[in-house]
Amino acid sequence: MSGASSHDQPGTFLPWDTDFFGFRVGRANATTLTRTSLDEVLQWCRAERIRCLYFAADREAPETLALAATGGFQFVDVRLDLSLSLGNRPALPAAGPSIRPAQPDDIPPLAALARHSHRDSRFFKDPGFPSSQAEELYAEWIRRDYRQHTVLTAGGGLPAAPSGYVTCQVSGGQRGRIGLIAVAPAQQGRGLGRALVNAALQWFHSAKCTEVRVATQASNVAAQRLYQAAGFRTAESSVWFHRWFPSSV
């Protein structure tokens, strides 16, 4: 999902994604393209035997979008980054009593819920990624966030299946990030998503974060409205492409 950035190169090799998908994955370092930089990044991919290159383009660079199209890049997503300042909020809404940090027994059912919850993502939209692998990516994301960060869950405890989750991490000092959030389909539309966001905000507040960020897709209206209702505002947007190369390069 991330890799060490080498900005003297046009691209960065992504070891985690490569291990997970079983083919070499990289991302373009720049957010704009010129004819020259397009050639350079394609050459870098061939030298590195990259099969799939991620490219997050600046949406305000029309030449870049045109060059991406002629360079064989496939449009996969418009990503929105939303942000909320916690610094000057007098009080945060209560989360509700049923939301708690996940325990080891919660992780298999939460991973099962994650498999089917994130169909708006670029990994499901791009047929280059088998849907079984896209599903497993989100299951693994929950396991990783449980090991490395914090997963809050609603409901659950045997024999009931958990009805939702939100994952929280502190990145870069006082900045918090919501990684994933989902509510089981049968429980949606009853305020649980809002309660999970409130629980996450309480958690970030306790962790002394002054800002919280979250990313979602332009196509995910439910998620946007959920975050906007909690006070998040759009901070950035970018146009995402994937560039595939034949396996023999």
Ligand X SMILES: CC(C)(COP(=O)(O)OP(=O)(O)OC[C@H]1O[C@@H](n2cnc3c(N)ncnc32)[C@H](O)[C@@H]1OP(=O)(O)O)[C@@H](O)C(=O)NCCC(=O)NCCS
**What does the binding site for ligand X look like in residue numbers (CB under 6 A)?**
117-118, 120, 180-183, 188-194, 216, 220-223, 225-226, 229
Looking at the Cβ atoms of 9 and 224, the one nearer to ligand X is: 224
Judge contact between 10 and 30, C-beta under 8 A: yes
Q: How far is the CB of 193 from ligand X (least distance, A)?
A: 2
- For the record, the structure tokens of 7 come out as 């900005």
Min dist. Cβ of residue 96 to ligand X (A): 11
Q: How far is the CB of 246 from ligand X (least distance, A)?
A: 32
Question: By C-alpha distance, which of 207, 186, 195 is closest to 100?
Answer: 195
Q: Which tokens belong to 42?
A: 């394609």
Q: Considering the complex, state which of residue 153 and residue 216 has its C-beta at the smaller distance from ligand X.
A: 216
Q: 94-117 as b/e, with b when 16 or more CB fall inside 10 Å?
A: ebeeebeebeeebbebbbebbbeb
Chain residue at closest Cβ approach to ligand X: 193
- Give least dist CB 87 to ligand X, A: 24
- Which residue, 47 or 94, has its beta carbon nearer to ligand X? 94
Q: How far is the CB of 213 from ligand X (least distance, A)?
A: 13
In the bound complex, what is the minimum distance in angstroms from residue 190's beta carbon to ligand X?
5
Beta strand residue intervals within the chain, DSSP E? 11-13, 25-28, 52-58, 74-85, 99-101, 150-155, 162-171, 175-183, 211-217, 233-244
∠ CA(56), CA(178), CA(98), 5° rounding? 155
Nearer to ligand X, 28 or 181 (CB): 181
Distance CA 77, CA 79 (A): 6
Looking at the Cβ atoms of 61 and 161, the one nearer to ligand X is: 161
Q: Which is nearer to ligand X, 73 or 146 (CB)?
A: 146
